[in-house]
Amino acid sequence: MDKDILCQLIAQRINPEYFFLSGIEFCWKSEDYNTEANNAIVAGIIANYDSLAADYEAAQVVIRKRQAYKTEADPLYIEWKALLAAEDADAEARHQEWIAKRAEIKARFE
């Protein structure tokens, strides 16, 4: 069980200000939060950790892939469009660079 993923999974359902993890041991910051309902949520997450963690990790890959397109490929696209509009001779080279970057990002996250 990965401590960081477990913490994120619990934080999706319970306010992170209510708990902390010591290793992978779950602890309430106050007895006020140590309720039957909250304990049931934590128990459910731990019982289903493998599938929840797999879903969480898959979602994180999608987020990182989108961010890579946004920060790495989109600027090349914008430059290409500007060069194309200006009828600049470098437009085709930038277009090819953009296509290559998109392919590289796609391969990185498959």
**Stretch 75-91: mean pLDDT:** 96
Q: Where are the domains of the chain?
A: 3-47, 61-108
Element counts in the chain: helices (H) and strands (E): 5, 2
Residue 61 is predicted with a pLDDT of 96
Please state, as a whole number, how many other Cβ atoms lie within 10 Å of the Cβ of residue 102. Answer: 17
* Phi and psi based region of residue 23 (left: phi greater than 0; alpha: psi -120 to 50; beta: remaining): left
Helix, strand, coil percent values for the chain (each to nearest 5): 75, 5, 20
Please state, as a whole number, how many other Cβ atoms lie within 10 Å of the Cβ of residue 71. Answer: 10
13-70 tens-digit pLDDT: 999 999 999 987 899 999 999 999 999 999 999 999 999 999 999 999 999 999 999 9
Q: Sign (positive/negative) of CA torsion 70, 55, 18, 15?
A: positive
